[in-house]
Amino acid sequence: MAVTVDDQAQERPERAWRHLPADQQPDWPDRAALDQVTDEISILPPLVFAAESRDLTAALARVAEGQAFLLQAGDCAESFDSFSAESVRRRLQIILQMAVVLTYSSGVPTVKIGRIAGQFAKPRSASTETCDGVTLPSFRGHIIHGEAFTAEARAPEPRRLLQAYHQAASTLNLLRSLTRGGFADLNRVHSWTQDFVTGSPEGRQYRALADETGRALRFMTACGVDTGSLPTLHQTEFFTSHEALLLPYEEALTRRDPMSGDLYATSAHTIWIGERTRQLDGAHVAFFASVANPIGCKIGPTATPEEVVELCASLNPGRVPGRLTLISRMGADLVTDRLRPLLRAVRDAGHPVVWACDPMHGNTFTSTSGRKTRRVDDILDEIAGFFGAHDAEHTWAGGIHVELTSEDVTECLGGSHKVLDSDLDTNYETICDPRLNGRQSLDLAFRVAELLRARS
């Protein structure tokens, strides 16, 4: 007798999510082809190891306790087309630069997580898109199909899951060697600046800070500290993350850890649930509840205090510090009003969450030129509102979650170089949402550093 998907779910309690409605999944034309690919993936090596994810939980527990700050950043959607060693190195570089700025200014460690090595699947507000009278499925990321507006490109292609796996594997391989092998050495902070940033005000401010860190290192050496033998100065801990939207891919990479006996998502160190798939009775929440990784959940302006406390109870029943990060994405106008009741409710319910601010997704609009964009000023306002709300509720503003690139793109408006509406077409490269460019990102790090200093 044929075994149905539901029978399998009954045999394996960890697959209980399969009975539940999963939003934002593509319409696969050939389920058998998808199953064949996920079977292949399920016997490939894990991309990350459970012990690494546990290290991240421990690092995030320090954030939850107010002893560290979280920087989670990277592409809105990684591309299969612009993938190269250079692009990985540059994406790491801007995050390392921002982390140095934040750590040096705040005096607390920065936990670094990239939206990288797996950020391939996108939720969409509308499932179809119409252009010149032609209606096609909306673009959902390179793990599913191509972004060109043709029926061929937009047809879901299961073999892309394998390509995503292999790209994530080689990205991680490079990230591991760059962060362990000297590239991330604190003596090299000067060398992380890209040419177009060097002469800018942000670039100069960064150089001054890099000079200071260099002096601090020389001072330590002069005092007799053997800085050469301290691995923390020459290597860095860097973690990977993505929105775990595409459940068949995630399930194929979920493995039982022999040490703890727990299930872990091995597609990334940490994964998050998007704003559109955080239904309490949905498949995503059930899947996330079944894995032991540190996890995140986006929280938008419609979330009620009761709903958020219930999410905490479902996703972190054991109240483990560092297990759950709530990523608020309210929009600059709403953040003060909407966030405070949530902070109060979670605090009063005694849930030890990390609160991070995504100042991007509540501030997106279509410009007069027809481009999807965001204003740097709105992004900064939302972060300031986030810090203000935490101050008022005596909770810890734990971190930021941003979409950025180190490249000189023109996707977000404003910044010290003032990208204008009329500039958006010049270098608009993203395949999904608009990202801060290298200068805007560095500038943002200095502004957040000021907020951190004002707090301590």
Nearer of residues 106 and 277 to ligand PEP, judged by Cβ: 277
What does residue 334 show for φ and ψ, rounded to 5 degrees?
Answer: -100, -15
Residues 4-63 that bind ligand PEP (CB under 6 A): none
Contact call for residue 389 and Co ion (CB under 5 A): no
Residue 295 vs residues 41, 222, 365: alpha-carbon distances, Å: 22, 42, 28
Nearer of residues 24 and 200 to ligand PEP, judged by Cβ: 24
Task: Number of residues interacting with Co ion: please give it, by CB under 5 A.
Answer: 2
Task: Kindly indicate which of the ranges 25-33, 210-218, 272-280, 434-442 contains the residues binding ligand PEP, using the contact rule CB under 6 A.
Answer: 272-280
Nearer of residues 156 and 359 to Co ion, judged by Cβ: 359
Give me the least distance between CB of 190 and ligand PEP, in Å please. Answer: 32
Residue 26 vs residues 109, 137, 388: alpha-carbon distances, Å: 40, 9, 39
| Cβ neighbours, 10 Å, residue 287 | 27
Count Cβ neighbours within 10 Å for each residue of 230-240 and write b for 16 or more, e otherwise: eeebbbbbbbb
Task: Kindly indicate which of the ranges 150-158, 176-184, 195-203, 270-278 contains the residues binding ligand PEP, using the contact rule CB under 6 A.
Answer: 270-278
Contact call for residue 282 and ligand PEP (CB under 6 A): no
Contact call for residue 361 and ligand PEP (CB under 6 A): yes
Rounded to whole angstroms, the Cα distance separating 301 from 334 reads 7
Task: Kindly indicate which of the ranges 191-199, 217-225, 268-276, 439-447 contains the residues binding ligand PEP, using the contact rule CB under 6 A.
Answer: 268-276
Give me the least distance between CB of 49 and ligand PEP, in Å please. Answer: 25
Q: How far apart are the first and last CA of the chain?
A: 65
Give me the least distance between CB of 77 and Co ion, in Å please. Answer: 7
Residue type present at position 39: D
Task: Kindly indicate which of the ranges 247-255, 271-279, 303-311, 313-321 contains the residues binding ligand PEP, using the contact rule CB under 6 A.
Answer: 271-279
Count Cβ neighbours within 10 Å for each residue of 349-381 and write b for 16 or more, e otherwise: bebbbbbbbbbbbbbbeebeeebbbbbbebbbb
Give the dihedral of Cα atoms 244, 249, 252, 256; nearest 10 deg.
Answer: -10
Query: Measured in whole angstroms, how far is the alpha carbon of residue 423 from the centre of its chain?
Result: 27
Residues 61-100 that bind Co ion (CB under 5 A): 76
Contact call for residue 243 and Co ion (CB under 5 A): no
Task: Number of residues interacting with ligand PEP: please give it, by CB under 6 A.
Answer: 11
> Residue 314 belongs to what H/E stretch?
helix 305-315
Residue with tokens 């940033």: 197
Nearer of residues 411 and 433 to Co ion, judged by Cβ: 433
- Which tokens in the block code for residue 74? 């990277």
Rounded to whole angstroms, the Cα distance separating 412 from 410 reads 6
* Residue among 76, 98, 184, 356 that touches ligand PEP (CB under 6 A): 76
Nearer of residues 186 and 312 to ligand PEP, judged by Cβ: 312
Work out the burial of residue 213: count CB atoms within 10 Å of its CB; fewer than 13 is exposed, 13-18 middle, 19 or more buried.
middle
Residues 255-274 that bind Co ion (CB under 5 A): none
Residues 396-415 that bind Co ion (CB under 5 A): none
Contact call for residue 274 and ligand PEP (CB under 6 A): yes
Residues 427-446 that bind Co ion (CB under 5 A): 433
Residues 395-424 that bind ligand PEP (CB under 6 A): none
123 binds, among ligand PEP, Co ion, none (CB under 5 to 8 A by kind): ligand PEP
Residue type present at position 196: F
Rounded to whole angstroms, the Cα distance separating 168 from 78 reads 10
Contact call for residue 301 and ligand PEP (CB under 6 A): no
Contact call for residue 374 and ligand PEP (CB under 6 A): no
Contact call for residue 358 and Co ion (CB under 5 A): no
Contacts of 149 (CB under 8 A, 6+ apart): 129, 131, 134, 136
Give me the least distance between CB of 40 and Co ion, in Å please. Answer: 29
* Residue among 9, 80, 108, 123 that touches ligand PEP (CB under 6 A): 123
Ranges of H-type helices in 349-375: none
Rounded to whole angstroms, the Cα distance separating 403 from 447 reads 16
Nearer of residues 296 and 415 to ligand PEP, judged by Cβ: 296
Residues 188-227 that bind Co ion (CB under 5 A): none
Binding letters toward ligand PEP, positions 196-235, x by CB under 6 A: ----------------------------------------
- Interface contacts to ligand PEP, rule CB under 6 A: 76, 123, 243, 274-276, 298, 329, 358, 361, 433
